[in-house]
Chain A
Amino acid sequence: MSFKRIFDTYTWDEVKASIYGKTSADVERALQKTERNIEDFKALISPAAAPYLEQMARMSHELTLQRFGNTMQLYAPLYLSNECQNICTYCGFSLDNKIRRKTLNEVEINKEVQALKELGFQHVLLVTGEANQTVGVDYIEKALKQIRPHFANLSMEVQPLDQEDYERLIPQGLHSVLVYQETYHKEDYKKHHPKGKKSNFDYRLETPDRLGRAGIHKMGLGALIGLEDWRVDSFFVALHLDYLERMYWKTKYSISFPRLRPFSGGLEPKVEMVDRELVQLICAYRIFNQEIELSLSTRETNTFRNHAIKLGITTMSAGSKTNPGGYAVEPQSLEQFEISDDRSPQTIQNMLIQNGYEPVWKDWDLALETAHSML
């Protein structure tokens, strides 16, 4: 059993027609219920829900406050490598993009770790491109062992791996894995990923299943907004989430909303999502699922992020560098994408406090991982 069996019973065009066919009555029904299903989610992301945005925002704020309180968890990405064997039409690390490639060695990793610690981070997301020869499982395992003692919590965003690879990495202190499907549009997925292991749509689609079976603590899902119709892609993210929560009930889930950002050699977004629509999507996820973590990166603008904290977001990155060595080793190297909010972690902390939120730097303990790995 995997999500593919469920996914294959849907067609893109039918889902699209269903979302665009939702009426204000469907939206009102969804808002009045206490528990919402996937059909309600369709209504909440439909064009028919646009006039209900303020009501959705208030509801999302209240539900988030109740479940997460006045808190915002902070994390930072740590890019270990920009080497990549894939061609992705939207990514600065793409194989056909002629940039200088860099993979951090032990000494360089140490410098980056120290820089992040000085900034106050306890939750760190390790990121690489997909290059199995240089940044394969052996490299990742070694890096985890090296970095693990320095932080309370480690997440990872790298190429999809086999179940046994995850089973090997989790005891090394890997707490969560982020794996975005990019787009659930199977035919267009091929166009965006013409070369490399990433072109295998089904292998990527089944990655959360492999992670669930491996017993990961948390996994992050999402679609890259801008490749295809965001409403249809977001429906499939919600469908995927709904399935995973039932199958792997011990795993925690988070959702991200990466909007395509400019990068070196870049592709213009096929579909633009305006800020108002992103707010609608954030609120829709929260109203659909009150327990899910919703994460917002520095791709978004200062103004948007300042307000998003009250819309349902529970996790934010801050002061991010999206290039390997960006914090201390080689600050000027080429980044994966341009960030928009370049404020320092301290400034973000102050902004949160001014808005009545407690910045949470630590919400896990290395000891809990140690307990798990010793069993």
Chain B
Amino acid sequence: MQSFKIADREFKSRLFTGTGKFKNSQLMKEALEASESELVTVALKRVDAGDANDQILKHLNHQRIHLLPNTSGVRTAKEAVFAAQLAREALETNWIKLEIHPDPKYLMPDPIETLKATEELAKLGFIVLPYIHADPVLCKRLEDAGTSAVMPLGSPIGSNKGLKTIDFLEIIIDQANVPVIVDAGIGAPSDAAKAMEIGADACLVNTAIAVSDNPVQMAIAFKMAIEAGRMAYEAKLASPVNHALASSPLTAFLDEL
């Protein structure tokens, strides 16, 4: 399975994970280890960056894990830029998962504010990974603005509804010049495998792992599904057809003439 790069960092694992909704920090740690994920997102609002004993950060202090703070909670581009700067200072990383969802009910990302913030943060030297709706035009605009990847949703955050946006994800992947990470809504390993089969570079999974009865086992299931999906993509899937292909073609006689 090929590795891939975001900005100048290479990733072997294409499974990105989150830190929310686990029963406890120890279980979170065990699930993240089992996932072999190299990029783990953490909400700035949930951690106390100044506390060396912070229950979440303490468990993420692992050589393999690259920390991706997110701006969850902000409602505007200006708030996001401020939060990103604080995260950079507190967590010593210029990587930021840009989440601007002024709608607290469905947590739908605001495309206009996200574009504005990406432009600003890219200028400030951030590696920006914006969480967005599966909007192909927005993805191209974000590329122009200097984004390092795009993170379109499969379905609403935490819904476990799978790839409801698959038609648009395919267009995004087809047109992309930056990595495409399917984020939000992935509920089953088969959803993740499907995302990889259509050519996504990675998937971010949190709820489906964290709230399962056995998060460690589920993390392994996702790891395997993502590997399987990627391998299938690299091996090139046979195209589906609606009619049978005769093993003795009707025009074969032409070759014998």
A256-296 toward B: CB 8 Å interface, digit per residue (1/0)? 00000000000000000000000000000000000100000
Give the contact-size bracket for chain B.
20 to 34
**What residues of chain A lie closer than 8 Å to B207, measured between beta carbons?**
66, 69
A310 → chain B, closest Cβ, in Å? 13
Assess the A363–B46 pair: CB atoms within 8 A: yes
Among the interface residues B82, B159, B160, which one has the most CB atoms of the partner chain A within 10 A? B82
Q: Which residues of B contact A (CB under 8 A)?
A: 20-25, 44-48, 73-76, 78-79, 82-83, 86, 102-106, 158-160, 207, 210-211
**What residues of chain B lie closer than 8 Å to A364, measured between beta carbons?**
45, 73
Assess the B105–A71 pair: CB atoms within 8 A: no
CA distance A357 to B210 in the complex (A): 12
CB proximity to B under 8 Å, residues A68-89: 68-71
**What residues of chain B lie closer than 8 Å to A71, measured between beta carbons?**
20-21
**What residues of chain A lie closer than 8 Å to B78, measured between beta carbons?**
371, 375
Q: Is A25 an interface residue (CB 8 A)?
A: no
In the complex, residue of chain B having the shortest beta-carbon distance to the beta carbon of A365: B45
Assess the A371–B83 pair: CB atoms within 8 A: yes
Query: Could you list 5 A-B pairs, sorted by A, with CB under 8 Å?
Result: A69-B210, A70-B210, A251-B104, A358-B22, A374-B82
Within the complex, which residue of B45, B76, B104 is in contact with A291, where a contact is CB–CB below 8 Å? B104
Assess the B45–A250 pair: CB atoms within 8 A: no
B30 → chain A, closest Cβ, in Å? 14
A175 → chain B, closest Cβ, in Å? 10
Within the complex, which residue of A68, A245, A362, A374 is in contact with B48, where a contact is CB–CB below 8 Å? A362
B54 → chain A, closest Cβ, in Å? 9
In the complex, residue of chain B having the shortest beta-carbon distance to the beta carbon of A122: B48
CA distance A356 to B212 in the complex (A): 12
Given contacts A250-B102, A291-B104, is CB(A363)–CB(B45) below 8 Å? yes
Give the contact-size bracket for chain A.
20 to 34
Assess the A250–B79 pair: CB atoms within 8 A: no
**What residues of chain B lie closer than 8 Å to A69, measured between beta carbons?**
20-22, 207, 210-211
Report the tally of A-B residue pairs with Cβ distances under 8 A. 79
B108 → chain A, closest Cβ, in Å? 10
Assess the B45–A67 pair: CB atoms within 8 A: no
Q: Is A145 an interface residue (CB 8 A)?
A: no
Within the complex, which residue of A250, A363, A367 is in contact with B86, where a contact is CB–CB below 8 Å? A367
In the complex, residue of chain A having the shortest beta-carbon distance to the beta carbon of B215: A70
**What residues of chain B lie closer than 8 Å to A218, measured between beta carbons?**
104
**What residues of chain A lie closer than 8 Å to B22, measured between beta carbons?**
69-70, 358
**What residues of chain B lie closer than 8 Å to A356, measured between beta carbons?**
23
Q: Is A137 an interface residue (CB 8 A)?
A: no
Q: Is A353 an interface residue (CB 8 A)?
A: yes
**What residues of chain A lie closer than 8 Å to B24, measured between beta carbons?**
353, 358
Q: Is A360 an interface residue (CB 8 A)?
A: yes
Assess the B103–A250 pair: CB atoms within 8 A: yes
Q: Is A372 an interface residue (CB 8 A)?
A: yes
Given contacts A66-B160, A249-B105, A367-B86, is CB(A375)–CB(B79) below 8 Å? yes
CA distance A153 to B158 in the complex (A): 24
In the complex, residue of chain A having the shortest beta-carbon distance to the beta carbon of B43: A363
In the complex, residue of chain A having the shortest beta-carbon distance to the beta carbon of B84: A371
Within the complex, which residue of B21, B23, B25, B44 is in contact with A367, where a contact is CB–CB below 8 Å? B44
A212 → chain B, closest Cβ, in Å? 13
Assess the A66–B158 pair: CB atoms within 8 A: yes
**What residues of chain B lie closer than 8 Å to A370, measured between beta carbons?**
82
Within the complex, which residue of A68, A353, A368 is in contact with B21, where a contact is CB–CB below 8 Å? A68
Within the complex, which residue of B23, B74, B76, B104 is in contact with A252, where a contact is CB–CB below 8 Å? B104
4 nearest A-B residue pairs (beta carbon): A69-B21, A371-B82, A252-B104, A70-B23
Q: Is A65 an interface residue (CB 8 A)?
A: yes
CA distance A30 to B79 in the complex (A): 40
**What residues of chain B lie closer than 8 Å to A251, measured between beta carbons?**
104
Assess the B46–A360 pair: CB atoms within 8 A: yes
Assess the B210–A368 pair: CB atoms within 8 A: no
Among the interface residues B22, B45, B159, which one has the most CB atoms of the partner chain A within 10 A? B45
**What residues of chain A lie closer than 8 Å to B23, measured between beta carbons?**
70, 356-358
CA distance A4 to B83 in the complex (A): 38
Given contacts A70-B21, A249-B103, A250-B102, is CB(A362)–CB(B46) below 8 Å? yes
In the complex, residue of chain B having the shortest beta-carbon distance to the beta carbon of A250: B102
Given contacts A69-B211, A250-B75, A291-B106, is CB(A365)–CB(B44) below 8 Å? yes
